[in-house]
Homo-oligomer: A and B are copies of this chain.
């Protein structure tokens, strides 16, 4: 699915902000890359197409897009990663050994959230969780 259909420009203008080539380009890159993207990778990819686009601008655009909730910002293993915000909540299973991140719908989390609210009076916000561990392949393979 192309992100063009999601009408980011409209959503940005609707809130009184301006659509610019820079913002479009960052959105393009996040869409093309898919999944978690490092700020640095965004910068590299963006500059491959438009060399004079500044790093500071990319940071500002990412911050802006996060504020509008068009993009999510997550920390995984000390790395900050960005991703286009999806409609459905989803989560990531990140293998400590090979770095592979599987998606996971997290349906099993609802019980946990209910439990925390009932027993701990705590409203957990688990919209975009990254769970660390070891994937099946690495567990069988030992470490290379």
Contacts and interface: CB of A to CB of B under 8 A. Distances in A.
Interface of A: 75, 78, 80, 93, 95-96, 102, 104, 108-109, 111-112, 115-116, 119-126, 131-136, 139
Copies in the complex: 2
Nearest to A103: B120
B116 A93 contact: yes
Given A75-B75, A75-B78, A111-B111, A124 B131 contact: yes
A120 B93 CA distance: 9
A124 B96 CA distance: 10
A41 to B, nearest CB: 19
A126 to B, nearest CB: 7
Given A125-B132, A125-B134, A112 B120 contact: no
